[in-house]
Structure formats: C-alpha cells, structure tokens
Structure 1
Amino acid sequence: MRKIWDDAVRTLGGTPDAGDLMERYAEPHRAYHNTFHAVSVVRDSSALADAFAFSVEERAVLALAACAHDVIYDSKPGEDERASAAWARERLAGLEEEHIARVESLVLATITHSSDDPLAHVLLDADLAILGSEPEHYDRYSAAVRQEYSQYEDAVWRAGRAKVLRSLLDREDLYVTEPARRLWDGAARANLARELQSLS
C-alpha cells in the first residue's frame, strides 16, 4: 500500500511522505479497519474505476483517498473520518491544493456515504464491497466489527447494529455505481438480512 501511495503522490507531482500510514493500519485494536481492509478498498476502487473515464490524476487522487480513508480509527464515527482527512492533508502538503482538497473531500464523504463526486461514488462502493462478499467472509467481517465495538454491552450493540443494518436495507440502492450494483447488491442484501435476523 505504501508503494501505491508513493506512486500516486508522484503522479500528482509531489514528493512521497506516507508517514505512519502502515503503522496506523497495523494498530492492535483494529479487527476489521486494518491493512487488509484498506488494501481491499484500494483494489476494489481501482477495479471499479476501470469502468469510467477518469484521468490519470483523478485515479491518483482516488488511490490516495482509498489509502487514507480509515488511517485514523478509534471506533468514533465522524471523528475518525475527519481525523483521517486531516492526516491526509498534512501528508500531502506540497501538492496542488486542488488535489489535496479533493482527497480530503473523498475521505470526508465516508462519514455520510453520500457525495456528488463520481470519484467518491467509486470509493464509497469499494468501502462497502465487503457487504457483498461470500457469507463466511461477511460473517468474519461482522464479528470483527463487533470486536472493535467491544466496549458496548451486547444489548446495546445489537440495537445499534440492527439500526445500521435496517438503514442499509432500506436504501433503494446500496451501491451508487452500476458495476458495483451488478457485482455485490444481491449478495449484500442477503448478508444484511441474514445478520439482521440473527440479532433478533
């Protein structure tokens, strides 16, 4: 992932400085939001981007946002993403402001999972690719997320998780891009419904 970061920075005319990128994702409290997740989002966002006419620079911006989107993670929704965006801005100092601001906005879009930016559509869909994985992979994901929120009693966790699952299932479209819908929507809805049933 560091090489992807460095190559993207060079593409945008900068001098790479990934700082503690890899160390952050390797923190012991990360059961799910770890290096494997970040690399998966980098990979899936790149694959989805192949279906669109993004410029080389836009793809570099997308790669940087995918690398940075969960670099700060303390199970504090909203705060984590804002801190990750700030981390990216600091690491990317020296690039043109246009590029820095777009990376920052892509990372911030993961707070609400909504944006008008086509690059964000790809990033957000890649971030949710796990929902459409094979059932056993999905089950490992949900168990890992539970582990990251182990500070909550089971009843509190179940209520909160059920609310999240219902909000996802209530969406007309889980995924924004057509390629992601084709790849993952059916399996994602089945996985979400199965987990929701297990919480009742």
Structure 2
Amino acid sequence: MDTDRVAAVDPLDAKVEFLTPELRSDLLERWNEPQRRYHNEGHLRAVLRAVDALEADGEAFDGTEVRLAAWLHGAVFDPTGSENAEKSARLAERVLDPAAPAAEVARLVRLMGGHRVENGDLNGCVLSDADLAMLGADPETYDTYAADVRHEYAHVPGERFVAGRIAALEGLLERKSVFRTRAGRDRWEKQAHANLNRELGLLRAGVAAP
C-alpha cells in the first residue's frame, strides 16, 4: 500500500461500508460536541490514520468492522459519566444498518472502555493500538494531549485527578507492552514508554496536571 497516499487523504472522507452520509454527519456532530477537548474530531481522525498505518504495515484485521468501531468508539462522551463505552456500543447497535456487523462493532467499542484485549483478537488489537497511538507521539504533541485530557476532566479535583492519572499510567507501563500488534510496538512502543514515564515523573513531583 502507498503509505504516502494514505497519509495525504483525510480519513474522515474515506468510504467505509455501512457508514452512510447521514450516519457520518450525525457522528461528526457528536465528535464535535463542546465538552470535548481531546476526544473530538481530531482524535477520531488520528485513530483512523493509525488504523490505516497498521494496515499498511501488514496487520491483518477486518477493515470495515474496525473502521466502523473507530467512528463509534467515542460517539457518546460525557466526562462526568462512567459508561461512555457502553453507551457508545448501544448507539452502534441502534444506528447501524441491519446488514452491518453491528454485534462485532459493538463488541469492539466496549473493549475500548478498558483496552483489555486478548492477543488473538486481531480486530481488537488493531483498534486498541490505534486508539492508544497518541501515547507514542512526539513529546510536544503528547503534552498537548495530556493537557487536553486534564481540561476535559476539569471538574475532577486536582489530587483525585492526579491519583487516577498516575494509576492509569502505571497500569499501562506494567503491561508486557502498551501495544498489542507487532506494527504498533515497532511504531510507538519506545516513544510511548518515554512519554508515560516522563509524565509519571512530573505527576509524582507535583509538577503536572494541577
């Protein structure tokens, strides 16, 4: 696959089976809701680009199912709620065409609630890696991501947010690897560990995310 061509095309415009113009428009409205700072259209675009990159690197998965799940995985986002993945999965079950692989799309969306994916789950591993690809971005981009996440959860008191964030980062670092696919590890693992450890050090020192 021509990776330069793939990178040049806006994935939000790419054709995906069962993603009708009406559904695309509705989902984009959702991804651009005012409460979003990180989990917005930019994140959706980045996830779809990461899916394209993993495909270009030879990962095997069902492109329709994974891309539909990417579009729907954050369709419901309430920073004050705790069931965003479940509500997004139910939305997928409700809005997809009866001929679409709605059950698999909903399953994948639910997995993104905790990124607990089995190694043999090809679709799940690709979507999880694409969703976490930001962790392997350059330091400046990563810092913007971390600040945007804090902005979304501004309602959470500082100490509680820091404690939760530390636990989340430690959980990622305790894994055998952050990324489940070979291509994901090759592309993002080293930089992700550097970013996560750097943020963790700042949080523990009381420098980041007040």
Q: Contact 1:77/1:111 (CA < 8 Å) preserved in 2?
A: no
Aligned residue in 1 for 2:124: 120
Aligned-pair distance for 1:53? 3.8
* 1: CA distance, partners of 2:39 / 2:60: 29
Aligned residue in 1 for 2:98: 94
Describe the shift of the 1:40–1:195 C-alpha distance in structure 2 as closer, same or farther (beyond 3 A).
Answer: same
How many pairs were matched up?
Answer: 190
What is the identity, as a one-letter code, of the residue corresponding to 2:43?
Answer: H
Describe the shift of the 1:37–1:86 C-alpha distance in structure 2 as closer, same or farther (beyond 3 A).
Answer: same
Describe the shift of the 1:62–1:52 C-alpha distance in structure 2 as closer, same or farther (beyond 3 A).
Answer: same
Alignment partner for residue 110 of structure 1, among 105, 109, 112?
Answer: 112
CA RMSD of aligned residues (A): 1.8
Residue 15 of structure 2 corresponds to residue 21 of structure 1: no
Q: Contact 1:17/1:91 (CA < 8 Å) preserved in 2?
A: no
Aligned-pair distance for 1:166? 0.8
Instruction: Give the secondary structure class of the aligned counterpart of 1:114.
Output: coil
Residue 38 of structure 2 corresponds to residue 32 of structure 1: yes
Aligned-pair distance for 1:49? 2.4
Q: Contact 1:78/1:111 (CA < 8 Å) preserved in 2?
A: no
Aligned-pair distance for 1:76? 5.2
Aligned-pair distance for 1:168? 0.9
Q: Contact 2:88/2:109 (CA < 8 Å) preserved in 1?
A: yes
Aligned residue in 2 for 1:47: 53
Instruction: Give the secondary structure class of the aligned counterpart of 1:30.
Output: coil
* 2: CA distance, partners of 1:7 / 1:176: 24
Aligned residue in 2 for 1:179: 183
Q: Contact 2:73/2:109 (CA < 8 Å) preserved in 1?
A: yes
Aligned residue in 2 for 1:66: 70
Aligned residue in 1 for 2:197: 193
Describe the shift of the 1:3–1:83 C-alpha distance in structure 2 as closer, same or farther (beyond 3 A).
Answer: same
Aligned residue in 1 for 2:6: none
* 1: CA distance, partners of 2:65 / 2:83: 22
Percent identity (aligned):
38
Aligned-pair distance for 1:8? 2.0
Q: Which has the higher helix share?
A: 1
Structure 1 segments unaligned to the other structure (5+ residues): none
Instruction: Give the secondary structure class of the aligned counterpart of 2:53.
Output: helix
Deviation digits for residues 167-189 of structure 1, max 9, x if unmatched?
Answer: 11111111000111011111100
Instruction: Give the secondary structure class of the aligned counterpart of 2:113.
Output: helix
Q: Contact 2:12/2:45 (CA < 8 Å) preserved in 1?
A: no
Alignment partner for residue 132 of structure 1, among 136, 139, 142?
Answer: 136
TM-score scaled to structure 2, two decimals? 0.84
* 1: CA distance, partners of 2:12 / 2:203: 38
Structure 2 segments unaligned to the other structure (5+ residues): 1-10, 205-210
